[in-house]
Chain A
């Protein structure tokens, strides 16, 4: 995990738990316990453990191992845009 503990601006950094409601609205079930594989570094982390940047035009989830973007989301009045190119996969359990 990249160590952000020394970075004073990381106070505003949240994690995938902060997007749980939005993601569940989108996918229909909890997404925080869903493992995702980072397309950049291939590390697998649950969405809840990914670093989240929110409050701006959209939400960005980044890999805790390499800081690259895994998921991006924008919610407009009409639609939700999801860019999942940064995720090599998301593993949604059927159980």
Chain B
């Protein structure tokens, strides 16, 4: 039996463009032991001469999908790995992955809510695993996703989020567009700040579990705001992605 942290070979299945710079890859892993929403995998690329690089990518898919996982990857300018994934990888290719990894930034339905998810750009990926899992389990915990993107065209999973929010099971999706907004946009039009977070949190209350993921700057602002709003630190979970396209 492979140890949970051994490297495995995944086979690339479907590749789908989510936005002009973000792409999802379905990786077939027949012996995948399953994962918890929010966990990630390490991906390793190795050249002929042995040079190798590793990156961590959050698992976008819910654990209820067996034998395969989705990764959603933003193409970072000058990104050694993301450029390779976008420009070279094709269905049928094999990639080394290790996982599932992580136990801190995890939500499963039995944990309950209310639930506040805060995403900056591609930080929405692990939160999507949480939302997909939430839907599959039939959970009705009051949940709000606050998602920050620069432009409407860059909203990752937009259609699927609209559909999840229309299901009437207690999920609301709130977008903020920080650089440009379409005509008639009535939503938030600025970077996430204390006031926005207070407004979004309000109906959920200070007993909410909060998951914040995205560029480090956004995570710091949001986590500090949660502390100021009186949430106990262990109810606020964070995952910093470092520099991204947003």
Show the binding face of A for B, using Cβ within 8 Å. 1, 3-5, 10-18, 20-21, 24-25, 30-33, 45-49
B199 contacts the other chain (Cβ, under 8 Å)? no
The 8 A CB mask of B104-117 against A (1 = contact, 0 = none) is 11100000000000
The 8 A CB mask of B45-66 against A (1 = contact, 0 = none) is 0000000001010000000000
Show the binding face of B for A, using Cβ within 8 Å. 4-5, 40, 42, 54, 56, 98-99, 101-106, 215-217, 220-221, 223-224, 227, 233-234, 237-243
In the complex where A5-B221, A46-B104 touch, is A17 in contact with B234 (Cβ < 8 A)? Answer: no
State the Cβ distance, A20 to closest chain B Cβ, in Å: 5
CB atoms of A48 and B220 under 8 A apart: no
CB atoms of B224 and A33 under 8 A apart: no
Chain A residues within an 8 Å CB radius of B56: 17-18, 20-21
In the complex where A10-B216, A11-B216, A32-B105 touch, is A18 in contact with B240 (Cβ < 8 A)? Answer: yes
Please pick, from B40, B106, B220, B241, the residue contacting A10 in the complex, using a CB distance under 8 A.
Answer: B220
Q: What would be 26 A-B contacts, judged by CB atoms less than 8 Å apart?
A: A1-B224, A5-B220, A5-B224, A10-B216, A10-B217, A11-B217, A11-B243, A13-B242, A15-B238, A15-B240, A17-B40, A17-B102, A17-B105, A20-B56, A20-B101, A20-B102, A20-B104, A21-B98, A30-B104, A32-B102, A32-B105, A33-B103, A33-B106, A46-B234, A48-B104, A49-B104
Alpha-carbon distance A17/B125, docked complex (angstroms): 15
State the Cβ distance, B1 to closest chain A Cβ, in Å: 14
State the Cβ distance, A48 to closest chain B Cβ, in Å: 3
Alpha-carbon distance A21/B100, docked complex (angstroms): 9
Chain A residues within an 8 Å CB radius of B242: 11-14, 18
State the Cβ distance, B144 to closest chain A Cβ, in Å: 22
By beta carbon, the residue of chain A nearest B219 is: A15
State the Cβ distance, A74 to closest chain B Cβ, in Å: 16
Please pick, from B54, B217, B240, the residue contacting A17 in the complex, using a CB distance under 8 A.
Answer: B240
In the complex where A16-B104, A18-B56, A33-B103 touch, is A45 in contact with B221 (Cβ < 8 A)? Answer: no
